[in-house]
Amino acid sequence: MTRIQRLGLAVSLGLAMVTGIFRAHAEATAETNVFKAAADGIEFRHDVFPEPWSTFVLKIQLGRPDLKFLPVLGQFDRIGLNTLSAQVRQVPARIGEPVAAINGDFYKTEGEPMPGDPRGLFVSRGELISGPVERDCVWFGTNGLPNVGMIHSQFTLQIGNRAAVTNGLNEAFDGSQPVIYSLAGSSGAKGGKSFIMAKSGAGPWLPLRLGMTYHAVLKERLDEEAPVPDDALIVCLPTDLGRAVQAGDEVTFSTATSPNLRGVDTAIGGGPAILRDGQTVEAHIGKPNERHPRTAMGWNETHMFFVVVDGRQTQSVGMTLAELSKYMAGLGCKDAMNLDGGGSTEMILNGKIVNSPCFGSERSCATSLIALRPAAPKTRPGTAIRD
């Protein structure tokens, strides 16, 4: 075979290989880049692109009474770390049956104080667990529809006639401000001066909710870290304030926010927002232009979208936030927010992990957002269920 013949054969083989690659990609795209029914009210889609990207999408109907969104902590109703699979399994049958889930907010890691503490707003089944920070969050309004934006904490605590001060909630105590601990059975504060705080008067009490004012009384002082008692709180005070107060002092504290989220029973932090009214939002966080595994949630008037993008792998390099925003707009989202990504990026559908976590296995994370079928209310024999 002459050199020219060998060159011609090589070109032919190369063209055949390239044609085969594009044909295989076209076939894969035809097979994957479409929505298919996955459960009643839920469609699933796996997209493959030549960048390379591998993305996974759940399209969930909004407004259905048989599909609700449930934010879950690492230990279900306790702060901690756990895999997404474990968080899904921990949902009690009395609440409902999980159908799908994605990982949630950023969080304090294993090497930090109070690992598993969500960094942003977290409200589940009406209970306020974590206050907002200067990042976007998603909350479901009293009309049941999602919203995205920056929520500002106006949490304050006043003891006796002293001036009101800002306070934290269920977070590591660093001595800069009082912190209230509300999760029964969880660890209390370390450092500072701590008191058990009991209800005072006839106003609202536990579980804590957004936009409320509470009245309490300081009970016994704690000399060491202790679990939060049932139907009570622990407040940890900076040393100077702790020395100035005593058991029997009356306390008023507020869970107000701006804007006012009173009545909101579902919220989860993350950020930043990447779509508003169909327009890309410029990201003002570190490394927005780097490609990483990503998790996000978006929506329009009729559907919620759970999205994960695999990354740091041969078959998928991950997306920048701008690329993620464009992709979600293409799905039909009007608004969208980024969630924790990297090794936390994961999606579960019908009990199975559908994407490829970049570490090759599940990473323990702090929160998740679960789409579930609510359990039917129990009724006594011979009684009817009223709307």
Question: SS3 letters for the chain?
Answer: CCHHHHHHHHHHHHHHHHHHHHHHHHHHHHHHCCCEEEECCEEEEEEEECCCEEEEEEEEECCCCCCEEEEEECCECCCCCECHHHHHHCCCCCCEEEEEEEECCCECCCCCCCCCCECCCEEECCEEEECCCCCEEEEECCCCCEEEEECEECCEEEECCCCCEECEECCCCCCCCCEEECCCCCECCCCCEEEEEEECCCCCCCCCCCCCEEEEEEEEEECCCCECCCCCEEEEECHHHHHHCCCCCEEEEECCEECCCCCCCEEEECCCEEEECCEECCCCCCCCCCCECEEEEEECCCEEEEEEECCCECCECCECHHHHHHHHHHHCCCEEEECCCHHHCCEEECCEECCCCCCCCCCCECEEEEEEEECCCCCCCCCCCCC
pTM over 0.75: yes
Q: Is the pLDDT of residue 317 over 60?
A: yes
Indicate the pairing of strand 36-39 with strand 136-140. Answer: unpaired
Q: Is the pLDDT of residue 10 over 60?
A: no
Q: Is the pLDDT of residue 199 over 80?
A: yes
Q: What are the pLDDT digits (tens) for 216-239? A: 999 999 988 889 999 999 999 999
CA distance 320 to 325: 9
Better-scored residue on pLDDT, 286 or 211: 211
Q: What percent of the chain has pLDDT over 90?
A: 81
Nearest by Cα to 354 from 88, 57, 81: 57
Across the range 266-280, mean pLDDT stands at 96
Is the bond preceding residue 71 a cis peptide, omega within 30 degrees? no
Residue with tokens 């083989």: 13
* pLDDT tier at 385, thresholds 50, 70, 90: very low
- Listed range (82-96, 235-249, 277-291, 370-384) with the worst mean pLDDT: 370-384
* pLDDT tier at 188, thresholds 50, 70, 90: low
Question: Taking phi first (over 0 means left), then psi (-120 to 50 degrees means alpha), and beta for anything else, what does residue 329 get?
Answer: alpha
Better-scored residue on pLDDT, 209 or 27: 209
Degrees, nearest 5: CA angle 116-122-127: 110
> What pLDDT is stored for residue 120 in this prediction?
97
